[in-house]
Chain A
């Protein structure tokens, strides 16, 4: 789970996104739920990419997290979009729903191309159907002229 490196030589690996694939395995995985700050330890049994049992979740969110983490790991992405002619230099934005982890760097590239020029409220849509994923990119802070 948590990489505990005591090797005095710095590991030479990329800091690319870790996308685990669980295909073809039937096994158990321990994971920590990240839905809330409690951080429940979950024991997840799965077969061929499908979750069959989740133990250790103190609320239903944990089961949902375990299923999504095995079957399609996804995260809400937060970033900033450049603003022009507004009182803020940057508009903080997020996806309104989690997006697959594998799309995160593609999403960052897309966000870097965006520019906001009109005043908006927290919750206003910046991009509809972001990356064709069926999620919205929404502003999270008010910006005025």
Chain B
């Protein structure tokens, strides 16, 4: 088991190296010289040369790449060009809303997705199952930002129940904070719950066909025990995998949803950085998200160990 954990940890290293390299290369895709873009259209040749030196762009590419790796290893993401401060500071400042939004959406996605999937499997081929699956298909077909806009229209503009947009920080109290996150979290979470429901349903259906389910039923266990104790425990593994994927989709979705609801999180930060061509900020946010995603997938893999003893012996 320790060997498995160590093997998984080692396997992450090359991925991290590639992630760091990709985020370096992304910036070099820009047509022309980043220094001249940063210096602006009215900069003199001398200004541009100075900017190149300041950014280390006058050195050969491999040297720049190795330096970039070294800086990352020390946790240094560089300075924002526009905000004139360390990227890491700007990120930390914007972290709260994105973390809360992602967390709440994940909760919505799991708390809606898993029960819907289990019920659909239990009442397979009934009206309930079919309507749940039709809804799930609809959920997969609505972009989250569109669902957000429709919710604003319905609950914000027409019914006036919830704020149309904006974000109340945690400091203003838990209730205002929650109120400002209800619609964004639902818009994001409900769309994701569709995927979780589909996976849970299909893996439940597979498990319910197993012999031990039949023997459980024939020895007189209640349907409730069979479904929740024996079937669900075994069916949850594929769902766990999807929850890892869901995290990526939620963070990606949060970036879009933040624009819909005017929430000052990482999403607004990266979009405004793209529009201002503030490359270090784009690079930093993208890198942070990729590293977090990789870490979550690692945790999901390790969670299998806790749930499924069969994996320990591999």
* A joins B in a complex: no
What is the interface of chain A, defined by CB distance below 8 A to chain B? none
What is the interface of chain B, defined by CB distance below 8 A to chain A? none
